[in-house]
Amino acid sequence: MTAKKGSMASMPNAIPRRRTSSISQARSPRIVRRLAHDPTADAQRLLDGLLRKPAQLEPKYFYDAQGSALFSAICELDEYYPAHAEKQIFQVYRDSILARLPRRAQWIDLGCGDGKKSRNWLPLVRPRRFVGIDCAEGWLRETVVGIAADYPGLEVVGVTTDLSDPPPLASLLAERPECAPIFFYPGSSIGNFTPDRARELLRSLCHLSGNNGVLLIGIDLIKDKSTLHAAYDDALGVSAAFNRNILRVVNRHLGADLNPARFAHQAVVNEALGRVEMQLVATERHNVRFTAPRLSVRSFDAGECITTEYSYKYSIPGFAALLANAGFSRQNVWTNSSEGYAVFLAAP
Ligand code: TRP
């Protein structure tokens, strides 16, 4: 204990310093709240999903501080190939992607998280404006403040919204009609929507793209069952921890006593539906108590499941057709060497 304290005190530079000088020079970023924020209605929906049989949760509840840290750890796992494959494609095909992006653009990161993925592109693309979108406001604020500090002269806007409804971005984008939008949607996050909902989201992005806008999007491809299973149920148990952490988040929202120790993580590869199904399986029969927004009790039988997320996988022609159907008629696609992942650049 003492040794630790001593070594920290002798290494003040080990603590990352905030670049206060550049923060004060930069315009402080604007935060726009577009989350239809009705905490009671949200809690009601959340509770209804849990009382239903089979029980279902919305994946947006994964991402509290702990969940965000666990997801970052997932992206470092050997088994979680989508993160590595996408990074490789962006590195290998950087110049040909860049050559097809509009100049003097507005760069819109759909689910920016810590902003790391956008930061790889910003110095190369040199957009006029950065719009970071995320449902977690605390995280979003930190990300946009950091980007504004590191790119003085770049207009930075943070928007809190989730993408489950058409993103309310039209008026924001119309403020800069001279800046073509580049929608950046990496990580195969589109796979967390059902194909119908995915098409709706793509349609609204196509509409928002106007004449000169583009969509740069990462897509995980259908592949063998064992690779998929390992990616979502890794040897270290990080995926399991990430999945079970959602129960702690739900406890805070619903004053509930869901016990993560009584649920096991399960990733089911459903080949017929082309998706991986993330579930939490009750390991024994027990009751769970909810105190908000109303008192309720639900019993779980041993083996009963809570579905937390679907992760749909596509074929290249399948996703190209979905894009075309949503109005994106011009398309480029790049894949990695094993063809397990694809990056599309699409324009109306
Ligand atoms: N959006 C991620 C994906 O579909 C979520 C995810 C990765 C996930 N690993 C997980 C969700 C494990 C639950 C459990 O790839």
Average pLDDT over residues 33-52: 89
Q: What is the pLDDT of residue 159?
A: 94
Could you tell me if the CB of 279 is within 6 A of ligand 1? no
CA of 36 from ligand 1 middle (Å) equals: 25
Could you tell me if the CB of 278 is within 6 A of ligand 1? yes
The SS3 call for residue 165 is: coil
The helix-helix angle for 81-92 and 225-232 (nearest 10°) equals 100
Task: Report residue 136's pLDDT band, with 50, 70 and 90 as the boundaries.
Answer: confident
Could you tell me if the CB of 86 is within 6 A of ligand 1? no
- Total residue count of the chain as it appears in this document: 348
The SS3 call for residue 216 is: strand
Could you tell me if the CB of 113 is within 6 A of ligand 1? no
Q: What is the pLDDT of residue 167?
A: 83
CA of 240 from ligand 1 middle (Å) equals: 10
Tell me the C-alpha distance between 246 and 258, whole Å.
10
Tell me the C-alpha distance between 71 and 116, whole Å.
13
Task: Please state, rounded to an integer, the average pLDDT across all residues of the chain.
Answer: 91
Beta strand pairing call for 106-110 and 129-134 = parallel
The SS3 call for residue 75 is: coil
282 vs 16, which has greater pLDDT? 282
Atom of ligand 1 nearest to the CA of 233: 12
Residue 284 in this model has a pLDDT that exceeds 50:
yes
Residue 74 in this model has a pLDDT that exceeds 90:
yes
Could you tell me if the CB of 231 is within 6 A of ligand 1? no
Residue 163 in this model has a pLDDT that exceeds 50:
yes
Tell me the C-alpha distance between 25 and 9, whole Å.
30
Could you tell me if the CB of 160 is within 6 A of ligand 1? no
Could you tell me if the CB of 204 is within 6 A of ligand 1? no
Residue 239: which H helix or E strand, with range? helix 238-254
Atom of ligand 1 nearest to the CA of 220: 15
Tell me the C-alpha distance between 8 and 228, whole Å.
42
Quote the pTM value. 0.91
Task: Report residue 36's pLDDT band, with 50, 70 and 90 as the boundaries.
Answer: low
pLDDT by residue (tens digit) across 225-278? 999 999 999 999 999 999 999 999 999 999 999 999 999 999 999 999 999 999
Task: Report residue 166's pLDDT band, with 50, 70 and 90 as the boundaries.
Answer: confident
DSSP 8-state symbol, 303: T
Tell me the C-alpha distance between 205 and 266, whole Å.
33
Average pLDDT over residues 101-116: 96
pLDDT by residue (tens digit) across 181-224? 999 999 999 999 999 999 999 999 999 999 999 999 999 999 99
Could you tell me if the CB of 311 is within 6 A of ligand 1? yes
Atom of ligand 1 nearest to the CA of 192: 4
Tell me the C-alpha distance between 308 and 2, whole Å.
43
Structure tokens at 208: 């928002």
CA of 232 from ligand 1 middle (Å) equals: 6
Tell me the C-alpha distance between 136 and 65, whole Å.
9
Structure tokens at 148: 């504004």
CA of 241 from ligand 1 middle (Å) equals: 11
Residue 321 in this model has a pLDDT that exceeds 70:
yes
The SS3 call for residue 280 is: strand
Q: What is the pLDDT of residue 107?
A: 98
Tell me the C-alpha distance between 335 and 319, whole Å.
13
For ligand 1, pick from 60, 62, 74 the residue to mutate: most ligand atoms within 8 Å of CB.
74
- The alpha carbon of 48 is separated from its chain's Cα centroid by a whole number of angstroms, namely 24
CA of 20 from ligand 1 middle (Å) equals: 35
For ligand 1, pick from 62, 71, 190, 244 the residue to mutate: most ligand atoms within 8 Å of CB.
71
CA angle in degrees (0–180, nearest 5) for 276-256-308? 5
Could you tell me if the CB of 243 is within 6 A of ligand 1? yes
Could you tell me if the CB of 242 is within 6 A of ligand 1? yes
Task: Report residue 300's pLDDT band, with 50, 70 and 90 as the boundaries.
Answer: very high
Q: What is the pLDDT of residue 267?
A: 98
Percentage of the residues of the chain whose pLDDT score is greater than 90 = 81
Q: What is the pLDDT of residue 22?
A: 43
Q: What is the pLDDT of residue 2?
A: 32
Cα atoms found within 13 Å of the Cα of residue 107, Cβ hemisphere only? 27
Q: What is the pLDDT of residue 33?
A: 83
What are the E-state strand segments in the chain?
30-33, 55-56, 106-110, 129-134, 155-160, 181-185, 214-220, 263-270, 275-282, 286-290, 296-300, 305-312, 330-335, 341-347
Structure tokens at 97: 């992607």
The residues pairing with 181 across neighbouring beta strands, listed in sequence order, are 106
Could you tell me if the CB of 63 is within 6 A of ligand 1? no
